[in-house]
Structure formats: C-alpha cells, structure tokens
Amino acid sequence: MTRTAIVTGAARGIGAATAIRLAADGCAVAVLDLDEAACADTVQAITDAGGQALAVGADVSDAAAVAAAVDRIAAELGAPTILVNNAGIIRDNLLFKMTEDDWDLVLSVHLRGAFLMSRAVQKHQVDASWGRIVNLSSTSALGNRGQANYSAAKAGMQGLTKTLAIELGRYGVTANAIAPGFIVTDMTRATAERMGVGFDEFVEHMAKEVPVGRAGAPDDIAAAAAFFCSEEASFVSGQVLYVAGGPTA
C-alpha cells in the first residue's frame, strides 16, 4: 500500500534528501516548507524518478497553517501516517548576547513546530492504527557553545519523542529521533559564514574531528529516517539515534 509521508523543511538539505528517499521507498510525499515555490526542486526530483509528491507552503510554528496544511495533504495525497519533523533554524549567539527573539524563534520552529505537526498528524495515524514519527534532534542536544537556544530545542525534541512513543505506541505508532552530527547543508554553510571561514575549509576542519574521517551528507540522515519509517521498524520506538560518524559523549 502507498503510505503518505510529510517531511517538513523539505525544500533543501536533510529534509529534501529524506523526502526523496521516502518517495523512492514508495511513499507519496508532502514536501512542506515555509514557501511552496521553494519546494519545486524537491518535488521535481521525486516526480522525475517516478514518485508522487505535493508542494505545501506552511510555517510549522503557526497552528492554523499546520492544521490547513495537514487537511490539504490528507485530501490531495491521502491521510498522512508518516511524519518527519525536520524544519529548523539556527540563531546562534553566546548567552550574554542572545536576544529573547532569538530564543523564542528557535524554540518555536523546532519544538512548537514538531508539537503542532505531530498533534495534527496523529489523528490520521490513530485512524489507520499505524504511524511513524521521526524528529530531528542534534548532537548539540548534548550542549554546544553559542547554541543555548538550539541545544535546548534539540534536547526538547528527545523528550517529545519519548513521550510520543509512550502515548501513541498502543495505536501502532512509533516515534524516534535522529541526532545528526556535522552535515554539509546550507545551515552549516551559514555557520561557516558567521565564523568568517570558507566553507570548504570549515568542512575539512570539522571532518578531522569525525572518526570515520568525513563530514556527513543529507543522504546519511535520510537513510536513518528511512529505517525508522519502514514497516520492519515497528518494535523500535522512543529511541535517539546519533548519526555522527562516531560515538558521542
């Protein structure tokens, strides 16, 4: 049977790779991002490969927009039973320079976004007695200089994941988190810019710290997401999988 999946923040980066991978695995995929037009490339990549995709514009931190988006996806693509909460932003600064807006915005996109999306999708999962939720955490959940807001949000994603697993397990729904290490995307490109270093140099520097000797790619995360979303992962729930090319502290 064709499952309908929603991947948030899927216009680019890890979300795009995950959307493309889930489509290759047979899902109809809602490619959701802030701006519907920005989803065109991901949708094109899926349809060019023979898959089914729908571009959806919505801000995941906006409750009304989330409810409308999930209703539209259910009507146009089928009831969504797979959800990947991937949308994210960074607003890095040392604590003494961090503004309240930067704190609120980061918590809002990651945590409130994952809450709103999960709440909207769970009714379709419960109706189907089957579902998969995958939340994007980060190695920053363990603490990272300059990321008080982001690390709090990413640690929060782990608590949310475990509670969703407990509450929704009886309905055949699993919830798991992926905590990536350093992945080459626009997000890490922005980090390099903020630090005033060239991206290639930054990637090379970061890769030296990784036991497998390379930076991560969006497909590395997509592969982990594909496992959690698979039929055969039905007994794996409430877990946090660090995908970082080595162990984490």
Position 33 contacts ligand NAI (CB under 6 A): yes
Position 185 contacts ligand NAI (CB under 6 A): yes
Position 151 contacts ligand NAI (CB under 6 A): no
- The angle, 0 to 180 degrees and rounded to 10, between the axes of the packed helices 186-195 and 199-208 is 100
User: Is residue 171 annotated as a catalytic residue, yes or no?
Assistant: no
Position 15 contacts ligand NAI (CB under 6 A): yes
Position 86 contacts ligand NAI (CB under 6 A): yes
Q: Which of 103, 115, 182, 228 binds ligand NAI (CB under 6 A)?
A: 182
Q: Which residues pair with 86 in a beta bridge?
A: none
Q: Is the dihedral of CA 111, 116, 120, 123 positive or negative?
A: positive
Q: Which is nearer to ligand NAI, 68 or 128 (CB)?
A: 68
Tokens describing residue 222? 């997509």
Please state, as a whole number, how many other Cβ atoms lie within 10 Å of the Cβ of residue 37. 10
Q: Which is nearer to ligand NAI, 81 or 139 (CB)?
A: 139
Distance CA 74, CA 80 (A): 6
Please state, as a whole number, how many other Cβ atoms lie within 10 Å of the Cβ of residue 64. 10
Closest of 176, 246, 180 to residue 208, by C-alpha: 246
Minimum Å distance from CB 180 to ligand NAI?
4
Identify which range of 13-21, 93-101, 119-127, 160-168 contacts ligand NAI by CB under 6 A. Answer: 13-21
Q: Which one of the listed residues 115, 130, 150, 182 is annotated catalytic?
A: 150
Cβ–Cβ under 8 Å, residues 126 and 183: no
Q: What residues make contact with ligand NAI under the rule CB under 6 A?
A: 8-9, 11-15, 33-34, 59-61, 86-89, 109, 113, 136, 138, 180, 182-183, 185-188
Q: Which residues are catalytic?
A: 150
